[in-house]
């Protein structure tokens, strides 16, 4: 298990490869990249130059952040790899990508996204529940995007499928600044 007192040096950001229908999603992604820079942190993310992923990376890189992209080979031929990253890693599978991002990151911040984002989020929270890491897991609830998931998790607690202490492993931030502060403070 990772030491929960370990200082946060790098944050992994999970988010969509699309920008979504609400301009607030893109704006918050750009704000997150800038906030990561202002906090002096590094970025670990999925390695793409499109969607919210590209927006976070571009904003962070513009301010000098050390940005690591981790892209699985299955996506390599789709011309989505960000070519301006500080460090780029091509890994064999999606499973390898997720494991590598967990290894590189000290906290996990989650913006809006689709199936992949949801799957990555639930996996890192599950790993925390199992004691495989003690790193902060924080959703950024831009424009109430995560309200449905949060209500579902509360229902799962009420139904006896998630313990309250494990529900608390997933924290909620209103915006990028709050999320980064929560990650740094632990």
Could you report the per-residue pLDDT of 95-130, keeping only the tens digit for each? Answer: 999 999 999 999 999 999 999 999 999 999 999 999
Query: What SS3 state is found at 30?
Result: helix
Q: What is the per-residue pLDDT across 47-96, written as a single tens digit (0 to 9) for each?
A: 999 999 999 999 999 999 999 999 999 888 777 899 999 999 999 999 99
Is the overall model pTM greater than 0.85, yes or no? yes
How many CB atoms within 10 Å of residue 54?
Answer: 23
The pLDDT > 70 percentage for the chain reads: 97
Q: Beta strands of the chain (E only): which ranges? A: 10-14, 42-45, 67-72, 87-91, 107-110, 137-140, 170-173
Alpha-carbon separation of residue 179 from 27, 32, 48 (angstroms): 15, 9, 22
Say if CB 47 and CB 69 are below 8 A apart: yes
Cα 37 to the center of its chain, rounded Å = 15
């Amino acid at each position: 298990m990772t030491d929960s007192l370990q200082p946060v040096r790098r944050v992994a950001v999970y988010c969509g490869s699309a920008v979504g229908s609400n301009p607030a999603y893109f704006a918050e992604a750009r704000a997150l990249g800038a906030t990561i820079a202002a906090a002096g942190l590094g970025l670990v993310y999925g390695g793409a130059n499109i969607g919210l992923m590209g927006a976070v990376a571009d904003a962070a890189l513009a301010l000098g952040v050390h940005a690591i992209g981790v892209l699985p080979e299955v996506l390599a031929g789709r011309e989505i790899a960000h070519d301006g990253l500080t460090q780029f890693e091509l890994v064999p599978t999606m499973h390898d990508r997720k494991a590598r991002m967990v290894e590189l990151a000290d906290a996990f911040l989650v913006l809006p996204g689709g199936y992949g984002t949801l799957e990555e989020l639930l996996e890192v929270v599950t790993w925390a529940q199992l004691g495989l890491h003690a790193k902060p897991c924080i959703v950024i609830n831009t424009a109430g995007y995560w309200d449905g998931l949060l209500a579902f998790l509360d229902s799962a607690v009420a139904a006896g499928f998630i313990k309250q202490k494990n529900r608390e492993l997933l924290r909620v931030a209103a915006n990028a600044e709050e999320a980064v502060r929560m990650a740094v403070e632990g």
